[in-house]
Amino acid sequence: MRTANGWRNWGSELSRLDWAGLNKHVWATTMKAPPEGFSSEHQPVLLHEVLDFLMCRPGGIFVDATLGLGGHAEAILQKIQPGGRLIGVDRDKESLERVRDRLLPYAHSVLYFHENFKNLPLILNNLDLPPLDGILADLGVSSYQLLSPERGFSFQGSGMLDMRMDRSQTQTAAGLVNQLPEEQIADLIHRYGEERYARRIAKAIVRARSQGRISQCAELARIIESAVPARGPRSIHPATRTFQALRIAVNEELEGLEEFLADVLPFVKPGGRVAVISFHSLEDRIVKRTFRKAAGLCVCNRSPELCTCPREARVTIITPRPATPRAAELKDNPRARSARLRVAERI
Ligand SMILES: C[S@@+](CC[C@H](N)C(=O)[O-])C[C@H]1O[C@@H](n2cnc3c(N)ncnc32)[C@H](O)[C@@H]1O
């Protein structure tokens, strides 16, 4: 039965169901139809590619910086037995609680940290580990977060406008839309959502909030829908970009990504790899640029005489073009359609 406390109280009811069963249960009890692009089973994105690129072997030491539902972590753990170890990080405490159950068979091989991955160097400094074989970061939100109405990530959900990955932080999406000046809302939607109707949407938000606080996801989705021209039959929902922008802002998703990628390199052994899956161009640009910089390549795009980019190479880029999901994966998991995987190898 669903209670005010949400998912966690479904434990006994769902104890004998697998994740596919859990997801079907969610559709049945909380949603009329699955959100666009989500399949009824949780599938880690680009799983085969991640395992191949990370060259997971028995005895390997890996970091999963974004444990989520543990799909990639479980597959990595299978490959690195016996003797392998995994350091698992997520800023979402509820996800960590769930993933612990899933990874119980590997309890002796996993260390969990409820942290922002930008603090990974601190974590690693405090662990007496040999250099790492690899690090994975699968950026963005998990399907668990998207599907939990009370987490307030989805414009199709019935929950409060929240969007915090780490619920101990104070800033929520409702806070931003109800408190920021119109200009700042427009800038945020434009910058993080690359939304062409950012100004119209910001105006509509400010008009609506003058009538009363905007607190529900569905309410904000309606305001956005009313502010933009009707969409074509195949285009994305008009609220998609604004919700993405708010999520990025609430969780400060782009801040620290470059530092994280640069700062973790010294912890990876020569020949070890860092793999990053991103889901939108803003993230992918940062990953591409950071890897290029670390590879001693130019990132300033100036002519060679004017370029002052440091040319010391710390990595080799393994994916000059990002790996993307194959048709078969997209058929099973349309949510993977925007995924891009970039990999760099420590020299
Ligand atoms: C796309 S999901 C990962 C899914 C996972 N690979 C799997 O197979 O289930 C992204 C996860 O990363 C977490 N996350 C996002 N940004 C983070 C950050 N800066 N630090 C730590 N965790 C983060 C989110 O809370 C979410 O659980």
Pocket of ligand 1 contains residue 49 by CB under 6 Å:
no
Domain range summary for the chain, segments of one domain joined by +: 1-30, 47-140+254-346, 170-250
Cα distance between residue 334 and residue 119, in whole Å: 32
For residue 158, what pLDDT is reported?
86
**Bigger pLDDT: 32 or 72?**
72
Specify the residue with its C-alpha closest to ligand 1, atom 9.
Answer: 69
The distance of Cα 226 from the centroid of its chain, to the nearest Å, equals 29
Cα distance between residue 222 and residue 220, in whole Å: 5
- Ligand 1 center–CA 36 separation, angstroms: 20
pLDDT tier for residue 4 given thresholds of 50, 70 and 90 = very low
Pocket of ligand 1 contains residue 138 by CB under 6 Å:
yes
Q: What is the pLDDT of residues 28-71, one digit of tens each?
A: 222 233 334 434 346 899 999 999 999 999 999 999 999 999 99
Give a three-class secondary structure readout of 202-263.
Answer: HHHHHHHHCCCCCCEHHHHHHHHHHHCCCCCCCCCCCCHHHHHHHHHHHCCCCCCHHHHHHH
Average pLDDT over residues 10-38: 31
Specify the residue with its C-alpha closest to ligand 1, atom 27.
Answer: 68
> How many beta carbons lie within 10 A of that of residue 312, not counting itself?
9
Q: Which atom of ligand 1 is nearest to the CA of 260?
A: 19
For 315-331, b/e burial (b = at least 16 CB within 10 A) is bbbbbeebbebeeebee
Average pLDDT over residues 117-132: 95
Specify the residue with its C-alpha closest to ligand 1, atom 5.
Answer: 68
Average pLDDT of the chain is: 88
Pocket of ligand 1 contains residue 268 by CB under 6 Å:
no
**Which homologous superfamily is 47-140+254-346 in?**
Vaccinia Virus protein VP39 (3.40.50.150)
For residue 20, what pLDDT is reported?
33
Q: Which residues contact 269 (CB under 8 A, 6 or more apart)?
A: 130, 131, 132, 133, 346
Q: What is the pLDDT of residues 237-276, one digit of tens each?
A: 999 999 999 999 999 999 989 999 999 999 999 999 999 9
> Which of 43, 76, 91, 251 for mutating ligand 1's site (highest number of atoms within 8 Å of CB)?
91
**Bigger pLDDT: 16 or 330?**
330
CB 81 within 8 A of CB 110: no
In the CATH scheme, what is the code of domain 170-250?
1.10.150.170
For residue 5, what pLDDT is reported?
27
For residue 43, what pLDDT is reported?
84
The secondary element (H helix, E strand) that includes residue 345 is strand 340-346
For 261-272, b/e burial (b = at least 16 CB within 10 A) is bebbbebbeeeb
Pocket of ligand 1 contains residue 335 by CB under 6 Å:
no
pLDDT tier for residue 1 given thresholds of 50, 70 and 90 = very low
pLDDT tier for residue 11 given thresholds of 50, 70 and 90 = very low
Pocket of ligand 1 contains residue 95 by CB under 6 Å:
yes
Pocket of ligand 1 contains residue 69 by CB under 6 Å:
yes
- Ligand 1 center–CA 272 separation, angstroms: 21
CA distances from 284 to 140, 219, 291 (A): 11, 31, 11
pLDDT higher than 90, residue 335:
no
Cα distance between residue 243 and residue 35, in whole Å: 14
Of all residues in the chain, the percent with pLDDT exceeding 90 is 81
Cα-based angle 230, 232, 233 (whole degrees, multiple of 5): 125
Pocket of ligand 1 contains residue 88 by CB under 6 Å:
no
Name which of 36, 299, 293, 285 is nearest 154 in CA terms.
36
For residue 78, what pLDDT is reported?
98
> Which of 97, 142, 143, 260 for mutating ligand 1's site (highest number of atoms within 8 Å of CB)?
142
**Bigger pLDDT: 30 or 318?**
318
Determine whether 197 is exposed, middle or buried from the number of CB atoms within 10 Å of its CB (0-12, 13-18, 19+). Answer: buried
Pocket of ligand 1 contains residue 51 by CB under 6 Å:
no
Cα distance between residue 175 and residue 281, in whole Å: 26
Specify which residues 113 forms β-bridges with: 89
pLDDT higher than 50, residue 3:
no
Q: Which atom of ligand 1 is nearest to the CA of 69?
A: 9
Q: What is the pLDDT of residues 132-166, one digit of tens each?
A: 999 999 999 999 999 999 999 999 888 999 999 99
Average pLDDT over residues 195-199: 97
pLDDT higher than 70, residue 2:
no
| pTM of the entire predicted model | 0.87
Specify which residues 136 forms β-bridges with: 64, 275
Pocket of ligand 1 contains residue 134 by CB under 6 Å:
no
CB 132 within 8 A of CB 58: no
Q: What is the pLDDT of residues 214-232, one digit of tens each?
A: 999 999 999 999 999 887 7
- Ligand 1 center–CA 61 separation, angstroms: 19
Determine whether 235 is exposed, middle or buried from the number of CB atoms within 10 Å of its CB (0-12, 13-18, 19+). Answer: exposed
Cα distance between residue 217 and residue 153, in whole Å: 8
